[in-house]
Amino acid sequence: MALPEEKLYAGVKLPIRDRRDTEYRINKELGFIGMLSMQSPELMSQIPSFMNLIVVEDSDVTGILTEDASAGGQFTVRSKPASTAVRNLLRESFAGIEVQGDVIREEECAKTVAFDVGGRERLLDFTPLPVDDRHLRIHPAYRQAKRDTFDQMSELTIIVPNDSPLGRSMQGL
């Protein structure tokens, strides 16, 4: 039986010249996404389908290869405050962990995490994270997901030849 064909569009986010910064960011974001997949699986349809480290060969240029939520410009992507339902699911992921203060960074939930994509709420940007680091650092599921991500980082890295159109484009940004 053939699986239904679904197109996924890819885009490069944040090409920068410091691989350590990109590796740290992707490791932290994937750790957070991994934790959400265990604690709040109902959020999985709202996050990017994939995220990988991309490196331009023989250079310091790196980036994050991730799902293009606009599907190549077919959908308008607009920043929006995260819905109450999303904020509640984020809070519930931390139920039972004893840390002072609110789990949610309200300012980040209001401006960076959530996007309207063709009328559908998506969670697309996790830097800065929408939750307080004090809560995140002690969450066992986050620590495990971050370790798993770090262990798999070399397997997830995509290397692009520096003389390819994508490699030249990333170096020119």
Query: Which range (43-47, 143-147, 158-162) has the least confidence?
Result: 143-147
pLDDT of 100 higher than 70? no
Verify cis geometry, omega within 30 degrees of 0, for the bond prior to 128.
yes
Q: pLDDT tens for residues 161-173? A: 999 998 888 887 6
Task: Report the half-sphere exposure of 151 (CA within 13 A, side-chain side).
Answer: 6
pLDDT of 98 higher than 80? no
Q: In what order do the strands lie in the sheet with 10-16?
A: 10-16, 62-67, 51-56, 158-160
Residues 102 and 134: beta-carbon distance below 8 Å? no
Q: pLDDT tens for residues 36-88? A: 888 888 888 898 888 888 888 988 888 888 899 999 999 999 999 999 998 88
pLDDT of 14 higher than 80? no
pLDDT of 96 higher than 50? yes
What CA–CA distance (Å, rounded) separates 73 from 65?
Answer: 17
Tell me which residue of 99, 91, 126 sits closest to 111, measured CA to CA: 126
Structure tokens at 67: 């799902």
Handedness of CA 99, 105, 106, 107 (dihedral sign): positive
Predicted confidence band of residue 1 (pLDDT cuts 50, 70, 90): very low
Task: Report the half-sphere exposure of 43 (CA within 13 A, side-chain side).
Answer: 26
